[in-house]
Structure 1
Amino acid sequence: MSNLRRNRLTAAVHLTLLLALPTVAAAQDAEQSQDLDTISVTGSRIKQTNAVTAQPVMVLDRAKLEQTGAKSVAEILQQLPASGKALNAKFNSSGNFGYPPDGGGIGAGSAQVDLRNLGSQRVLVLVDGVRWVNESSASGVSGSADLNTIPLAIVERIEVLEDGASAIYGSDAIAGVVNIITRKDFKGAEFHSYYGEYSRGGETKDFSLTFGTGGDIWTGVFGATWYEQDEISSGSWGQSSNCQPGAGLGACSSGTPQGRFVFNDPTNTTSYNITLNNGTTVPVFVPGNPSGGTYHPFTGADRFNFAPYNLMLTPSERKSLFANINIDLTENTRLHFKGLFNNRQSRNQAAPEPIFVGPGAGTGGIADTISIPANHPFNPFGFALDANNNFVFIGRRPLEVGPRVFTQNVDTWYFNVGMDGLFNIGDRSYGWDTNYIHSRNSATQRFTNGYNVAKIKLALGDPAACAATPGCTPLDLFGGQGRPFTQQMIDWIRTNQRDASTQVLDIFSFNLSGDLFSIGDRTAGFAVGAEYREYQGDFDPDPLRQTGESQDSFAAPVSAEYNVKEVYGEFNFPVLASLDLTAAARWSDYSTFGDAFTGKLGFRWQPIEDLVIRGTRSTGFRAPNLGELYGLTQFGATLTDPCGPTGSPVVDRTNGVSPGLEAACVAQGVPDNFEQANTQITTFTGGNPNLDPEESDSWTVGLVYSPGWAEEKSWSRRLDVEFGYYNHQIDGAIQSRDIQTLLNSCIAAGGTDARLCSPFTRQTNGNLRPPNNFLQNFGTVETDGADLKINWLSPEWGFGSLSASLQTVWVNEYKAVDGDGVTSSRQVGVEVGDSAIPEWQSNLQLGWKKGNFDFTYGLRYIDAVTEDCTSATIAAVPGCLNPSQTNTLGATTYHDVQFGWKDAFWLEGLRLSVGANNVFGKEPPICVTCSLNGYDAGTYDLPGSFWYVSADYRF
């Protein structure tokens, strides 16, 4: 009796949920599912008899997960056509950009999921229907979950709800829900081994051991996994070995090994923008002559190519332990325990850190205040460089120190204890569960080869003050590579920094579901429940970051918490013989801002046996997370100053002031022949404790057609077609201003419009001071489009059976308008900000199976997008010379193959798989505006193919 009860509680979930959407796996398991009364579907807490529900859900069972050849949950989800840009191992930087404005940190080493291009913070990640803790990654308090904390070996299937679901699950479920179902009813043991490698290296190794056992009243599943991904250097590929492909050194960094010196001679008012000649060991300065002595005027050709020091693929090692134990207390009551420990060690790398000093450094901190006296032992100019008078900027990159290295160590703990059961009242059956969950994600990051800018100031200041300070050694910024730093200089200014962050989530929940009444032979169902959650987040940046003494980025600490109380109700009513109506409502009370109410309505109409028409309308909200509410950081935004792009000054009064940009720049006080020193302009960003929740309005409509004329025929065993339309609108979107678009709009409007130009002020030399760009409920985001899914399965023929599965997403519109009325440049068909929203994306899988052999051929199609290349630094790039000044990233198709052999070499339980993703080695299209590696790593695969082999032995 207890085993039967357990089947109704759990087996129904992981065996018959495959019917939530028509899939090949669903067709194969159809006979088995006929014996099960009810099923649970992500997007509803009511167990139902309908195979197709009102909400669109995509199910990836374990067989489909293995067919991808991927070895992480994030990689699989990011390949779905509905996915947008999210952090992954291909684009994951610690040292190049500082902290993003959302307070969530850089997420170094983490991997996330985005649905409908609405951002990973608007996707709710569940594990077995329960919220997963958000990541920390030692750089902030994020509102997104790190999928690297969930090993693929413990996953039974993944369910993706492609609809808003705040009324069912609460905050964050605006764009959709990802529910990761773990393995529960596993008997025996399974050993898994995997090896793969990219064309340019980057070995991937994965090993796991899973075993399940039990007795009359208990079952247990236990697992251990080890995963290692090696790095791939950016210098290994021509496109990624240049800081901007096709643009030459003009787009690279002014922090050069030889040094760049920008100042005015106080004796004759001559302006200098010079660099040291190569091979120089003793600098010789000729006053009044920028080309005299051992110097020459600085040009784009002198810039430093930092790209080869970066990584195309960041290394990572992950180890995890997992346990899931169920104990039958009675025939109808069960006690369960679930626990997980996961450790991730990862690393990022960047070029040796440049030293920027003087007002033109634009850090907003100590570096901007540094002056160098005339009697400094290494000052070759014969006069002081005064930050309040004639000094603008010195940039020098000491290669002798070595690259910046950021090493993360992240621990994730998860513990769940609870009870669930069944009971009857009359002829009505009811199910209940109660849970306590404690989860914790804690991370430390060690940053090596950084500098203490306060010590730099002392080493460049009064020699007497430096001599009076133990350990201080005067710093030589003037000798270039011909006279590198001594070890004593390096030891004085170099410092290792340690950052840490932690997120803790505690949940108490109770759910009850069952039957209300019958209408004919159909039953009205309900689900009600309550939940209490406590969030705690801490970010402890290195003391040098907090005081502004770090040459890297400033960051302030965060330590905060809040709690949430919620109740919800959900109902399903069979109104007519062919029509069901659903309704859900949730009330939430947040300690940070107050209460919120969300609702959802849906319908399911089956006018004929083969056709289901369905739709939903829902309101949603997303509460600001701790990172968005608190904290202060810096972000090195990659900006092009319209008043003097790198390598191309705009203002030239010698020929008079022309209309357009020049007049606007003059109005801002930009001097003659101004040139932007660097493309990274520091921006102060951070949280806002006065934020309100985002509010959303979403609706979907679609149909599922499973024609009887294609079922159990000579040419077709089953055919399923699903079509759906989605529409999301978010009001009061939590965001900062699009600083590049705002700067362009300010200059285009004449440079003096207070509404557009208030964040921007300039130094007397024309350089922008660091603007403030804090989070606000600042805009509206709208997007809509359509999905098409087709699945076909053949009967058994003499040569085997065939299958075909297609998933296509068409994005009609994506539009974001901020509170200034400025429309974001992020739109459909446009590449911007290292991300793209292709109009069309499609995945196609073709399968063959005969006996113990199977073969899968996959196609992944990404539509063409364009990027704006009007910036002077890239206008000369081939492909950017067309009249519209855009570069087209052509349509891209990837080909994947896998061959499998079950009971290989006649050993029962052994399965071998050999495969390749991007088998023809397709390279991603050149992206001239992307900030790393010359391509959009959130949209496209790494260049070259990835080959792998795996062996699974079950016994």
Structure 2
Amino acid sequence: MESLLGATALMGTLLLVPAVASAQTAPAATDANQEPTAVGETESAEEGQDAITVTGSRIRGRFTGADPVTTITRDDATAAGYSTTTDLLQSNAVTNGTAQINNAYGGFVTAGGPGANTLSLRGLGTSRTLILLNGRRMAPSGSRGAVGSADLNSLPNAMVERVEILNAGSSSIYGSDAIAGVVNVITRKGINGIELNAETTSPQVGAGVQKRVALMFGTKGERFSVDGSLEYYKRDGLTLGDRDFTRCSTGQRLNGTGGGMGSGDFIDPATGKPKCYGLANGTGDNGVTVNTIGLPTVKGNMVALGAGVPAGYTGDCNRFRPNPAVTTGAYPGYECVGGGTISLDVRDTFPKSILNNSLISGTENYNAYASAAYKLEALGDAEVYGEFLATRRNSSQTSNRQLSLDYNQGSLLLPAALRNLNFGNCAVASFPTCIAGTPIAARAFIDFGNYTNTQTSDFVKAGGGIRGNLPANFRYDAYASKSWSDSSYTTPVVLTDRLAQSLDVVASGSGFACRNTTGGCVAAPALSASVIGGTLPSDWRNYIAPEVTGTTKFRETTFAFNVDGPLFKLPGGDAQIAVGFEHRTQSIDDTPPNDSQRGNLLNTTSATATRGNDSVNEVYGELELPILRDTFVHDLTLTGSARYTDYRSYGSNTTWKVGGAFAPTKWLMFRGSYGTSFRAPQLFEQYLGATSGFQNAANDICGNLTTASNPNRVRNCAADGIGLGFTQNAGITVLQRGGAESGLTSETSTNLNLGGVLTPRFGDVQTSFSVDYYDLTVNNGVAQLGYATIMAQCYDSVEFRALAVCGLVKRNGTALQITTGYVNISKSYLQGLDYNARVSFPLAGGKMTLNGQVSHFLRRHSQQLPTDPIVDLIGKIINNSNAFPRFTGTFDATYAIDKFSVHYSAEWTDSTDTNAYYGAGPTYNFSTPDYWLHTISATYRTDQVRFTLGVRNLFDTEPPVTSSGAYNRVGSAPLYAGFDYVGRQFFASTAVRF
């Protein structure tokens, strides 16, 4: 209730008011014959056809409709300090505060691969958001097997005139994917000269600088026009060591008795301060063990005890840290730091190389764009037109790696005192480099240091067509395009066979040599305190961890034909119709590195090739009926659309939508629509190559059962030969695959939108207020069953092996293997309200404009299985793909006088509380307070020059901290796109027209 009151107050004052402006209708067309406009503006007619086509319809000349369309202009984005269209589209003004895959996700597995930026409207996922460029689909691009969405890095930043966002299902208009909505990026036309543009954004911390330079050009004659741009953009990486809040990730626990955040943290005996960990990604505070060696278990009274181990400890010890001062006991030179009841916190878990890891990944992008049109003065005064876009993205992310180095029993690389120990059986899968029949004597947990993933992604789209007039004021448009996406991804990965080969040595002079020298083998280093500490020979590192490269190719071809025009007269005007046909083909070919395909990557997911193709034929129609106009009501218009779709892969589908707008007066309008949408399974969801990975052994559902455990689980585990008290020692093998073999079909949805717009005018004061309600349900959703869900459904069921899901679970003795895949199971429900307000009025010889936009989520839940409980996600941060603050808002105020303007904006993310969801006890806090970001800028503009200076995150607001142990975090803050990890940033932008 307090949040709702706060939102109401903000909307009422509108004096602190969004980072971008918002409107409910598209701007009117500009006269193509007017005088040159100020720099950065354009002098365009809509594609040379003298009529606007608003996003959400294929009927020309529409300025209002049944669904709200938010427009964000180029000037809005510049004043808000957005260097790229990517930054703009991932802002709260577009995303309503939902989680996005942005530049902070470089170390995570994401669709499109590292370095790709995608958009998810309403938080329903990137595959349910359609991106258009000038009304045409942007094809997917990126790297690795899960390419299925447009990479926002491919958009031509310098040429963007405005962005139109339709937050409503529109599959009957645009086809598959338009479930949550449509974003249409519209480029500039009529530049008529040369324009240079340069922008820079410099974070206060001195790292992560962004630079962009662009050359725009254009010319036109009586029958032709040409516009284009060449652009270069670079963002330097920002590391964990560059920001205070990421230099030391702590548990942020409470002490259970009223103490604040961090009061319950473990105090590191080495520093006397709360212990720093690696990124706590939902697995707790243990981080990654380094500078430690695993040896056979002995009792604590037989060895030296390290700092932090309870004095007099006599329990088990099996993890040790080098300490040359130790000269007695079972293991001279080592002190006990783990085993038995010793806390994992005692071990070393924060190597300094972590500070070099990417917080914001770096990228270097090149972009070329051109559009042209030529009037034939034939074929119905036809115009031939074309468009070309080419981009290259060179991106990289730095991470660090732990190396588990296993020394076999009897190895010459071990000190004599350790050679005959037995730490583990070679038959256990967790020792991949052991020599068959020879036990492991010792395992060293080493900080292997940093490595860098790199990607090169090339995207090209070429299209064109012909459009002209037909009899009876009809118009036609025939179009064809081809898109190519070619990417390569490279990473240095430890190869299992090379590591094993390097560990099998013989004496050679004063050192050691590989027993098998094939491939130029380099012998592993002898175990020592320096090796355990991460000091490793560079030639050996390079030998066992060479760079491996995979490639991804995605192709899309489109043919489309559209006819629109008037049918007959109605009291409100001409009834309009648009009908058309579209054919589209897609193919994907992802070829992982050969070592990945044969499972030769140490402790890293393996993958086979993802290859497949699909095609679709569609016919559609749209109708607009202006029933009344300027009679006893101002306007009454009804709309309808339908589309028949036939995919080669799964068959056909029909979608439809009806809507209308009713304006009893010029200043009041009611609008609404109801329709169906669908999403065809993407190629990677159908054809994803078999991918293998591992989960922690402790997650085996049959582990550590007692007589008090679920009786179905006890019985079913026993049927698989697993008795009470069993402890799993081997990791769980998880295989992933596409859904084509299991008959994956499309998902469907229904979308209801109701709203009203109030636009009274009081003298020179112009106002606009709108409220829109939406209600969206996705049925038969495409989802990937998690391994934990499969285990629970199988082992907790009465039917057990009679269930189909149990066919995905296999046991080889006690070893567990689970196969996951894409299936049609999930259901999603979303309900909310959008509030928008705009006021402009003269002030002191200038003009003041105030904007406010608030999004209010009312309800959001998903069910992966019909038996899953319904849990409302509103007001919670669950993980990187489920973040739904109850309220988000953007507010701005702009004052313009003569050639100057000043802009102030604020972005608001409501507080969240996920404590009840995770059952947090007195030592955890999974809540965040209200979060505000402020921006201020000033602009000077003439017909030839525009110059903008400003500051983003004016008050250097850091993300809020939460306890670890529930979801992914960055430092001690949740991983969530709504928080700013960069800090205060100074930006400047200039444009010069010649």
TM over 0.5: yes
CA distance in 2, matches of 1:915, 1:373: 64
2:364 corresponds to: 317
Q: 2:695, 2:245 → 1: CA distance?
A: 19
Mapping of residues 258-269 of structure 1, within 5 Å = 258-261=292-295
Deviations 1:343-382 (A, max 9, x none): 111101111353377xxxxxxxxxxxxx934445427251
**Alignment partner of 1:408 is 2:455:** yes
Corresponding position of 1:688: 739
Tell me whether 1:946 sits opposite 2:988 in the alignment. no
Residues 383 and 620 of structure 1, relative CA distance in 2, 3 Å threshold = same
Q: 1:382 aligned to 2:420?
A: yes
Aligned to 2:87: 75
- Count how many residue pairs are aligned between Structure 1 and Structure 2: 874
Q: Does the C-alpha gap of structure 1 residues 513 and 920 become closer, same or farther in structure 2, counting only changes over 3 Å?
A: same
- Selected match of 1:198 from 200, 203, 212: 203
- Does residue 455 (structure 1) correspond to residue 498 (structure 2)? The answer is yes
> Quick check: 1:531 aligned with 2:576?
no
Change (3 A) 1:637 1:741: farther
Residue number in structure 2 paired with 1:572: 624
Code of the aligned partner of 1:257: N
Contact 1:868 1:887 (8 Å CA) reproduced: yes
What one-letter code is carried by the residue in structure 1 that aligns with 2:290? T
Which residue of 2 is the match for residue 12 of structure 1? none
Q: Is the 8 A contact 1:902 1:911 kept in 2?
A: yes
TM superposition score normalised by structure 2: 0.80
Does the 8 Å contact 1:234/1:311 carry over to 2? yes
CA contact (8 A) 1:642 1:744 kept: no
* Runs of 5+ consecutive residues of structure 2 not aligned to the other structure: 1-19, 35-42, 253-264, 266-274, 278-283, 303-313, 432-441, 508-512, 630-634
| Distance of 1:396 and 1:665 partners within structure 2 | 39
Q: Measure the CA separation in 2 of the matches of 1:591 and 1:757.
A: 30
Question: Structure 1 CA distance, aligned partners of 2:767 and 2:874?
Answer: 32
**Range with bigger deviation, 538-547 or 486-495:** 486-495
Task: Kindly indicate whether residue 177 of structure 2 is the aligned counterpart of residue 163 of structure 1.
Answer: no
Deviates more, 1:577-586 or 1:809-818: 577-586
In structure 1, what is the Cα distance between the partners aligned to 2:294 and 2:982?
35
1:61 has 2:76 as partner: no
Aligned partner of 1:143 in structure 2 is: 148
Indicate if the aligned counterparts of 2:466 and 2:478 stay in contact, CA closer than 8 A.
yes
Counterpart for residue 524 of structure 2: 475
Question: Is the Cα contact below 8 Å between 1:284 and 1:293 reproduced in 2?
Answer: no
Deviations 1:84-103 (A, max 9, x none): 2221112222xxx5x56xxx
User: What's the CA shift for 1:665?
Assistant: 13
Tell me, yes or no, if structure 1 residue 421 matches structure 2 residue 457.
no
Alignment of 1:366-765 (within 5 A): 372-375=408-411, 377-378=413-414, 380-384=418-422, 387=425, 396=444, 398-399=446-447, 401-425=448-472, 429-448=473-492, 450-460=493-503, 467-470=515-518, 471-475=520-524, 478-482=527-531, 484-551=535-602, 552-577=604-629, 578-632=635-689, 634=691, 683-689=734-740, 690-707=743-760, 710-713=761-764, 716=765, 718-739=766-787
Aligned-pair CA distance for 1:68: 2.1
Which residue in the other structure is 1:366 paired with?
A: none
Residue number among 181, 189, 195 corresponding to 2:194 in the alignment: 189
Is this contact kept in 1: 2:739–2:822, CA < 8 A?
Answer: yes
1:848-887 mapped onto 2 (5 Å cutoff): 848-868=895-915, 882=922, 885-887=924-926
Q: Which runs of 5+ in 1 are unaligned?
A: 1-17, 358-370, 645-649
In the alignment, what sits opposite 1:333?
Answer: 382
Distance in 2 of aligned mates of 1:528 and 1:19: 33
Matched, 1:257 2:291: yes
Q: Which amino acid aligns with 1:780?
A: K
User: Counterpart of 1:339 in 2: which secondary structure?
Assistant: strand
Q: Could you tell me whether the CA contact under 8 Å between 2:713 and 2:796 is conserved in 1?
A: no
Equivalent residues in 2 for 1:104-183, closer than 5 Å: 104-105=111-112, 107-137=113-143, 139-183=144-188
Aligned counterpart for 2:855 among listed residues 809, 834, 837? 809
Task: State the shift of 1:545 in Å.
Answer: 0.3
User: Closer, same or farther in 2 for the Cα pair 1:433/1:191, shift >3 Å?
Assistant: same
User: In the alignment, what sits opposite 2:338?
Assistant: 297
- Which whole-Å CA distance do the structure 2 matches of 1:25 and 1:128 have between them? 15
Distance 1:238 1:753 in 2: 52
In 2, distance between residues paired with 1:136 and 1:944? 28
Any idea what SS the aligned residue of 1:481 has?
helix
Partner of 2:318: 274
Offset, 1:828: 1.2
Distance 1:887 1:666, change over 3 A: farther
Which residue identity lines up with residue 350 of structure 1 in the other structure? S
Confirm or deny: 8 A CA contact 2:78 2:989 kept in the other structure: no
Distance 1:738 1:944, change over 3 A: same
Tell me how far 1:937 sits from its aligned partner: 3.6
Q: Which amino acid aligns with 1:705?
A: L
Residues 837-864 of structure 1 show CA distances to partners (whole Å, capped at 9, x for unaligned) of 1010000011111111101110110011
What is the CA distance between 1:229 and its match in structure 2? Answer: 0.5
Alpha carbons of structure 1 residues 322 and 220: separation in structure 2 relative to 1, 3 Å: same
Distance in 2 (CA, whole Å) between partners of 1:573 and 1:33 is 28
Counterparts of 1:388 and 1:637, CA distance in 2? 18
Contact 1:546 1:554 in 2 (8 A): yes
Q: Which amino acid aligns with 1:789?
A: N
How big is the shift at 1:208? 0.6
Cα gap change, 1:633 to 1:372, in 2 (>3 Å): farther
Equivalent position of 2:230 in the other structure: 224
Q: Distance in 1 between matches of 2:366 and 2:916?
A: 44
Distance 1:421 1:739 in 2: 55
**Counterpart contact for 1:223–1:322, Cα < 8 Å:** yes
Secondary structure at the counterpart of residue 39 of structure 1: coil
The amino acid that maps onto 2:989 is S
Q: Secondary structure at the match of 1:771?
A: strand
Name the residue aligned to 1:85.
Answer: 99
8 Å contact kept, 1:262–1:272: no
Q: Is the 8 A contact 1:24 1:793 kept in 2?
A: no
Contact 1:782 1:816 in 2 (8 A): yes
Q: Which amino acid aligns with 1:189?
A: I
CA distance in 1, matches of 2:976, 2:70: 25
Q: TM-score, normalised by structure 1?
A: 0.83
Summarize deviations over 1:535-565 as a string: whole Å, max 9, x none. 0111011000000001232011122211111
Residues 212, 220 of structure 1: 8 Å contact kept: yes
Q: Which amino acid aligns with 2:861?
A: K
Q: CA deviation at 1:750?
A: 12
1:532/1:565 contact within 8 Å kept: yes
CA change 1:620–1:182 in 2 (3 A) is same
Q: Is the 8 A contact 1:751 1:757 kept in 2?
A: no
Where 1:174 maps in the other structure, the secondary structure is coil
Change (3 A) 1:815 1:585: same
Return the alpha-carbon distance in structure 1 between the equivalents of residues 251 and 491 of structure 2: 28
Residue of structure 2 equivalent to 1:828: 874
2-side partners of 1:662 and 1:404: how far apart?
46
Shift of 1:746: 8.9
- When structure 1 is superposed on structure 2, of 221-230 and 820-829 the one drifting more is 820-829
Q: Conserved in 1, the CA contact under 8 Å of 2:92 and 2:907?
A: no
Q: In 2, distance between residues paired with 1:72 and 1:819?
A: 39
CA deviation map 1:458-511 (0-9, x unaligned): 344586995134334553585353564334533442221101101111111111
**For residues 753 and 672 of structure 1, do their structure 2 counterparts lie closer, same or farther at Cα, with a shift above 3 Å needed?**
same
**Is 1:52 aligned to residue 64 of structure 2?**
yes
Distance 2:872 2:812 in 1: 30
Identity of matched residues, % = 23
Q: CA shift at 1:787, angstroms?
A: 0.5
Deviation (angstroms), 1:455: 2.0
Give a deviation string over 1:710-756, Cα, whole Å, max 9, x none.
3434xx1x111111011111111111135567778999999999979
Quick one: structure 1 residues 439 and 294, their matched pair in 2 at CA, closer, same or farther if it must change by over 3 Å? same
Give deviations 1:761-789, integer Å, cap 9, x for gaps: 89999xx8453321111211111101011
